[in-house]
Structure 1
Amino acid sequence: MSRFLKVAISQELLQFTNPERYVQHIENRVGVKAGLVAVGADDNVQQLTEKLRDCEVALILPTLFEAVGNCLPPSLKWIQCAWAGVEPLNSLADDVKKRFRQCIVTRSAAVYNLEMADYVICAIISMERNMPKIIKRSLNKDWQRIEDVCGYRTLSKLSIGILGLGDIGKDVAKACNSMGMTVYGLKTTWEPVDHVKKIYTSSELPELLQTCDYICNILPSTSHTKGLLSNGVLKVCSSKPIRFINIGRGDIIDERSIVEAVNSGWIEKAFLDVFEKEPLPPESPLWDLKDVTITPHVSGAGGRGLVEKRFIENLENYIHNRPLKYIFNWDKQY
């Protein structure tokens, strides 16, 4: 164990584990002597510069991208993001992007898949069974077994269109199909995907929206996906309103367009977990929309325990000069 590896890790990630366990994990699994340094949002440029000095590898939250990018040392060869999405890279200043391009950036993919698939199933059942309304009545000690809470469809009678069939989308498709749902999907190419009956491309989005009972967005935030459902796109659902689930990125549809779609009856019900601005401000009109449930970006929160596992797996690849998994593609922007 002659090689020494200095690793920077976001302070927030160390709240969920013992730093010494991280070091032991690296040394026992990877076979190198490791030193850990915690970096956080409270660090100024001078502190970050000193902490990152001689670091070769980093596991950080994307909220630190800009700060870290301003003081990237030449020694830093690889950065693993603790999120599945690394879209904040796309909005960095060009000079900061240029510095990031000098090292490899990878995503924590295949970490949040099952948790997010569970969320989608939970959201569908909640909307079909009118659980938000039942819970509200329960808090008011109101016992009513009337049509609005007793009339529902089983999942086997429902269809869902999944926008984005990456790792997470494929597991959501599998979960929905296993419950008997008919699954459709939106992606850039027509290659078949397991558990998906038919693939649509972006030019066919209106047809997909008109076909499905539910639409679930799992797309990343790129220049091609921002506002994809904004500006009256959902008007095609006027004759057959959809139920909308958003666990991808909030900028797929702007706030004004959500309000318009709900008030116009294009969206019948919704579960929203991601937003243009987070935390969602108290003054946002989304809080007061009828039959819209707001959750605070928690659809994949249970997957945090796998972040360390995925990092160690990729670290083994790095140390042994094997290809790293889930490398960020600057051209595709994800």
Structure 2
Amino acid sequence: MPQGKLSVLVYAPASVPMYRDFPEEVFRQRQAELGVRIDLVRRYDEVRARIAEPDVYFGARLDAEDFRQAKHLRWVHVPLAGIDRVLTPDLAASDCLLTNSRGCMAAAVAEHALGAILHFARGFDLAVAGQRARRWENVRELRMPMELADLSVGLVGFGEIGRELASRCKALGMKVFAMRRRKGANTAPDLVDRMWGPGHLEDLIDASIFVVLAAPALPDTEKLIGRRELMRMGPQRFLINVARGPLVDEEAVYRALREKWIGGAALDVFEKEPLPAESPLWALPNLLLTPHIAGQTPHFWERVVALFFRNLERFGRGEPLEKLVDKGQGY
């Protein structure tokens, strides 16, 4: 570790359900082992009161005015993949390092998306509707159930979630296509049959039965899927969003499902969360709606904490950090 005791401020809000099983004891143990000072706080007003002191901040929220008071801060770690509540213009312009926990939930999110693919491919949506109506549904007359080897999946985004989902889909015999932000050769020919760079969303849609959104929320991905894309998909294709709510135009998705422009959709994320009770999305029978649970896994904190302490040791030795965020790109 650097000369002097490294100071770390950890924000684990007690009011947020995911922090109720936060491994506080691990931080106490590692503090002694590494010879650092770790202060753990449960309310954001405590962050405001202490942010001027630490070298390192662990938390999913850091307001712009508080970052400006953080005179000693050299590294911020976000215990989630999303960094939108931390990456302010001042932080982006500073020398402060920013890391996130992308990949810690990738397997869970990929398997959630795979479950959604199975839900529609095997006609579970139709069978469940029949069950609710106490009707022995003739599913094949409504939509013939599909075998996985006949499916094609198009991934919008090929980060860690996209790679995890591609490996699972490929293992089950599906064709896999992907579109990523960078141009260039297919970087995963063992997992992806064809990979496009930006500007090829229509090609991806045309090639795929299931279009899966796994890209970050950025200005150029806002409402990436709107009326035009949904009408292009048609009733034999399905949309899955396990990325961020703003990637889709919810009003257009509602109309596409109600008027059956597309076969169905699975949404785990929304423009406003929790989704208001008055939202018309709740009533759509061809929508699989889940309350932002794709990333939930019993291994979440185990992986996040292991990543953070690996990086804390690297930081103390002056080595490059894992999961470093490109602050200019925003991911």
CA RMSD of aligned residues (A): 2.5
Instruction: Tell me the distance in 2 between the aligned counterparts of 1:129 and 1:23.
Output: 48
Q: Which amino acid aligns with 1:277?
A: K
Could you say which residue in structure 1 is the equivalent of 2:288?
293
Runs of 5+ in structure 2 lacking a partner? none
Q: Return the alpha-carbon distance in structure 2 between the equivalents of residues 179 and 150 of structure 1.
A: 21
- Residues 1:224 and 2:220 are matched in the alignment: yes
Contact 2:79 2:100 (C-alpha < 8 Å) held by counterparts: yes
CA–CA distance in 2 between the matches of 1:17 and 1:207? 43
Whether contact under 8 Å (2:41, 2:47) holds in the other structure is no
Q: Is 1:243 paired with 2:238?
A: yes
Alignment of 1:1-334 (within 5 A): 3-12=4-13, 15-28=20-33, 31-41=34-44, 43=45, 47-61=46-60, 64-66=61-63, 69-70=66-67, 72-89=69-86, 92=88, 94=89, 96-97=90-91, 101-138=94-131, 142-144=135-137, 146-147=139-140, 151-188=144-181, 189-194=183-188, 195-238=191-234, 241-302=236-297, 303-305=299-301, 306-334=303-331
Equivalents in 1 of 2:114, 2:175: separation in Å?
13
Could you tell me which amino acid in structure 2 is paired with residue 112 of structure 1? M
Please say if residues 39 and 51 of structure 1, whose CA atoms lie closer than 8 Å, have aligned partners that are also in contact: no
Equivalent position SS for 1:245 = strand
Distance 1:140 1:80 in 2: 49
Q: How far is the alpha carbon of 1:161 from its aligned partner?
A: 0.2
Taking the aligned partners of 1:82 and 1:111, their CA distance within structure 2 comes to: 9
Q: Structure 2 CA distance, aligned partners of 1:116 and 1:70?
A: 31
Deviation per residue, 1:166-216 (Å, 9 max, x gap): 111111111111111100001122321320000122322112111110000
Contact 1:159–1:181, Cα closer than 8 Å, also in 2:
yes
Superposition deviation, residue 141 in structure 1 = 5.4
159-168 vs 298-307, greater mean Cα deviation: 298-307
Contact 2:180 2:195 in 1 (8 A): yes
> How many equivalent residue pairs?
321
CA deviation vs aligned residue, 1:30-86 (integer Å, no higher than 9, x gap): x32333221434x2xxx433222421111112xx22277355421221110011121
In structure 2, do the counterparts of structure 1 residues 190 and 262 end up closer, same or farther at CA, with 3 Å as the change threshold? farther
More moved, 78-87 vs 5-14 = 5-14
- 2:289 counterpart letter in structure 1: I
Compared CA separation, residues 246 and 312, structure 1 to 2 (3 A): same
Distance in 2, matches of 1:149 and 1:268, equals 11
% of aligned pairs identical?
A: 24
Residue pair 2:222, 2:246 contacting (<8 A) in 1 also:
yes
Query: Residue type of the partner of 2:120?
Result: M
Q: Structure 2: how far apart are the matches of 1:140 and 1:290?
A: 12
The gaps in structure 1 that reach 5 residues or longer are: none
Which amino acid letter does the alignment assign opposite residue 41 of structure 2?
A: A
SS at match of 1:65: coil
Q: How far did residue 235 of structure 1 move?
A: 2.0
Q: Which moved more, 1:207-216 or 1:8-17?
A: 8-17
Does the aligned pair in 1 maintain the 2:113–2:165 contact within 8 Å?
yes
Return the offset for 1:236.
1.8
Q: Is the 8 A contact 2:98 2:327 kept in 1?
A: no
**How far has the Cα of 1:101 moved from its partner?**
2.5
Contact 2:123–2:139 under 8 Å retained in 1: no
Shift, 1:137, TM fit = 4.4
Distance of aligned partners of 1:136 and 1:230 in 2 relative to their CA distance in 1, 3 Å threshold: closer
Q: CA deviation at 1:298?
A: 0.8
Larger deviation, residues 256-265 vs 311-320? 256-265
TM normalised by structure 1 equals 0.87
